[in-house]
Amino acid sequence: MPFAVRSKKMNDPVEQLRNRMVTDQLEKRGIYDPRVLRAMRVLPRQRFVTTVSVEQAYADCALPIECDQTISQPYMVALMTEALRLEGGERVLEIGTGSGYQTAVLAALAAEVVSIERHGKLSQAAGEVLQALGYANVRLIVGDGSLGCVEHAPYDRIMVTAGSAACPPPLWEQLVEGGLVVLPVGDRSNQVLQRMEKVNGQPRLENLTGCRFVPLVGAQGW
C-alpha cells in the first residue's frame, strides 16, 4: 500500500467515518477479506468525491460524479474487489476508472492496474488524485473499455464497473486461463453481478448479487 493514513488526533472524525463505514457497511454484510477491509479502512474516499461533504463521501450509497457517472457504494466496491480474489501479484484490467476510488483499492492489493475510462476529464482527475496519494502501479488509459487493452494484455483479473448484456469478447480473450472477471450483466437498468472463471477457455459462472450500474458504452457495449 503506497501510503498510510495516520491520525494526528486520537478522535480524528474522518478516521471515525472510515472505521464506521468498514464496520457497518462491509463487515456486517459479510465482507471478510482482511486485505480489502484494510485497504478501504485507510483510503481517504473523500479525496475522490469532492462535490459532496466528507460525511456524504462515506455514505451507504452510490454518489454522482462528473460526466453523468457515479462512484459505487462502498459495499459494492468491497464486494467486487473481494470477488476478484487478489493475492498481490496480479495484473488487473479495470473498465471504467470513474473517480479513481475503485482503482486505488485495486492498486493497493495487486501488482499492477490498467484502468480504461472513456471520459478524458474523469481519467485526468483520477490520475491527479492517485498520483498525489502515491500510487505508482496504475496505468490510466482514455479509450473504449469494451475493447480492453491488447497492448498490456494478458490480465489475471478483469473488473468491469459498468453494465453490459454479456462479457465483451475482447475482454474474455485478454483474460488468462484460470483468470477471473467480475462484471454486472443484464440490461441498461438492472444487472446481476457475476464472477466468471476462465476454465479451459469457457466461463464458469457465479451470480453474486443484483445491482445497478451505468451502461457500458462502446463498440462491444451498449
Q: Determine contact, residues 4/42, Cβ cutoff 8 Å.
A: yes
Catalytic, 164? Answer no
- Which residue has 486520537 as its cell numbers? 10
Instruction: Compute the distance between CA of residue 170 and CA of residue 149 in angstroms, rounded to an integer.
Output: 9
The one catalytic residue among 7, 53, 72, 115: 72
Strand partners, 196: 181, 205
Q: Which three cell numbers stand for residue 91?
A: 495484473
Alpha helix positions (H), 21-100: 34-42, 54-57, 74-83
Q: Which three cell numbers stand for residue 46?
A: 473523500
CB atoms within 10 A of CB 104: 29
Active site residues: 72
